[in-house]
Each structure stands twice: as C-alpha cells, then as structure tokens.
Amino acid sequence: MIAVSILNRLIMAAITLFGVAVIVFVLLRVVPGDPIAMMISPGASPADIAALRAHYGLDASLSTQFWLWLKAVLTGDFGTSISLKRDVLSLLGERLPATLELAFAALVLAVLLGGAVAIVGTLARRTVFEPVIDSFNGLFLAVPDFVWALALVLVLGVLFPLFPLSGRIDPSIDAQFATPFYLLESLLTLRFAIFADICAHMVMPVLALGLPLAAIIARVLKAALSEAMVQDYILLAKLKGMSELRLVLQEALRNAVGPTIALTGVQFTFLIGGTVIVERIFAYPGIGNMAIDAVINRDLPLIQGLVLVFGAIFILVNLAVDLLVAAFNPRLAHG
C-alpha cells in the first residue's frame, strides 16, 4: 500500500510539474517585451533579427514552440541561455548546488534554533520567562528574510565587519573543486581553511534565511509540546517521578514532532523561494541570483529551466515531507 501511495504521489507530482511548465511557458510569451530586441545591436537588419528569432525557435506558433521545448526537455536539453549564450542545464548544474547548500544550512540552523527555543519555552511555561521568550520569538517571526539580510549587512558587514559581504568564496583563494558542492567537498577533502572561508561567506545569508523559519518552527513546536504536556500519559509519567526535561524530550517531543515536520517542509519551499532576494543582496552565486538576471534580461530558456527546477524542488520536498509524516504516523501512509 505504501508503494502504491508513493507511486500515486509521484504521478500527481509529474502532472503538477507539467501544469507549472505550461502556465509559465504561456505567461512568458504573452507578457510584453521581446527578448530578441534585447540582444540585437542598434544597426541590426530585419534579416538578422529574423535569423536570430528562428535560431531560438521564437518564429513558430505557441503550440509548436511548447511541443519542441517539451520534447527537448524530456531528452535533457533545456536550450541555450539567450543572455549568457550557454547551455541552460550546465548553468543550472553550476548554480543549483550553491543554493542547495545555502538552503540546507539555513534549514539546519532553523531546526536547531527553533527546536531549542520551543523546548526552553515549554519548560518555562507559566513562568515570568514564557512571555519574554514568546515576545522575542514573535519579533523574529515578524521580520522577513530580506529585512534580516539588510540588517545583517549593516551590523555584521559594515559596523562590525566580521563576515564577508558577498560571494561564495574569497577570490584570492586558488581552490580547485571536482564538484559544484564547494562546502561539502572542502569538508570531505579535509581542506579546513577553504571550508572555513566558505562558511564565513554563508553566515549572513544563512542567518537571514534561517531566523524567520526558526521562529515559525519554535511557535508551532511549542504549541504542540504544550498540548502534549497536558495529556494523560504525560501526567501519569509525571506522577511516576519523571523530570520535566525528560517528559518534554522523551514523551511529548515524539508526539509533537509530526505536525512540526509537515509545517517545516512547507516553509522550506518558501525558504528556497526566499533565496532569490537574499542571494541577490549578498551577491551569492546561486540560482536565485541568476533568476533575477534571467528575468531582467527576459532570458526565456533560462527562466523556463529555473522554473522547472524550483517546481521540482517544491514537489520533491512536499513528497519527502509526506513520507516523513507518514513514517511518524503510519495511519497517514494509507491516506
């Protein structure tokens, strides 16, 4: 039954991704603006423009363009970037790992920080510290990631310049990488100086992305823990002499983590979307930063490739969350 459930979810994911591709493809071609007009020189002749339009397949009907693009994508050909003159798939392969490392680092920070605040808040319930913790958490919740990014630039980049303001690695470092996963590769190959430099470049973007998510996790997990702490099995364990800390960590947390995982997964997709602005602010070379350039240049093949990647990430994350939640509550696996 679980295999059938996973198969059904994968089929629905493929249908959803196809729908996203159709909508984006149509929207990009009905909005005003001609990408070819942004490429040609002022003295280009009509024949040059027509040849360029034919080269990128923009002279065919909308349905023909979509069919040709879909057939190419299914064979792994995402086309050629109009602005960068390079294969879209190779561009995505270079930039996506940087964004994934950034997003996963922010997720780890959010889970650890949010979990710790929730547990401390639960232990401090009905004390004078509870409203203080809730107030600080509400403050972190109210500030969006791009505002955090700007504040961090001002405080940690300008007033107290502790961390690099931009980039992924110091340009003066002559480092060779076999993969685009710089952080992971430098750690696995024991190049700790390079690893530390990459971490330093990630500190502010990770904080900007992770702090709002940590506040959300803390609020939801604390509510779930508080609800669990008044259940009969918790009261029974308390009567047997179990300490408050053990009650939270060993009993309540197990039942409270399910809904928190579901919410964290949904919020993680928003975190991926948030990389678009945060990467731009820190000039971080991920797909978010590249997406803004692609939109500015109206680079249709690159935008389509980026949308497919973002859509695939959202769908896969939601699928993974469904499986994780089902693992914590097997009854949902058959839903």
How does pLDDT run along the chain (335 residues), one tens digit per residue?
667 777 777 788 788 888 888 888 888 777 766 667 666 666 777 777 777 777 777 778 888 888 888 888 888 888 888 888 899 999 999 999 999 999 999 999 999 999 999 999 999 888 888 889 989 888 888 888 899 999 999 999 899 999 999 999 998 988 889 999 999 999 999 999 999 999 999 999 999 999 999 999 999 999 999 888 888 888 888 888 888 888 888 888 888 887 788 788 778 888 888 888 999 999 999 998 999 999 888 888 898 899 888 888 888 888 787 777 777 665 555 54
Domain holding 276, by residue range, is 95-330
252 domain residue, yes or no = yes
- Biggest alpha carbon distance in the chain? 87
Of the candidates 260, 264, 265, 270, the residue with the CA atom closest to the CA atom of residue 145: 270
121-129: long-range contacts (C-beta < 8 A, 24 or more apart)? 121/218, 121/222, 122/222, 122/225, 122/226, 122/229, 122/248, 122/252, 123/244, 123/245, 123/248, 125/226, 125/229
Q: Report the domain count for the chain.
A: 2
Same domain, 151 and 242: yes
Same domain, 119 and 224: yes
Same domain, 186 and 37: no
Same domain, 29 and 173: no
Say which residue the tokens 């605040």 belong to.
Answer: 117
SS3 label, residue 184: helix
CA angle 327, 330, 333 (to 5 degrees): 90
Same domain, 100 and 196: yes
224 domain residue, yes or no = yes
6 domain residue, yes or no = no
Same domain, 65 and 114: no
Same domain, 262 and 209: yes
Same domain, 190 and 296: yes
Determine the pLDDT at residue 47: 79
Same domain, 180 and 319: yes
232 domain residue, yes or no = yes
**Global pTM value:** 0.83
Determine the pLDDT at residue 204: 96
90 domain residue, yes or no = no
86 domain residue, yes or no = no
- Compute φ and ψ for 183, nearest 5 degrees: -65, -50
169 domain residue, yes or no = yes
10 domain residue, yes or no = no
Structure tokens at 38: 């942004």
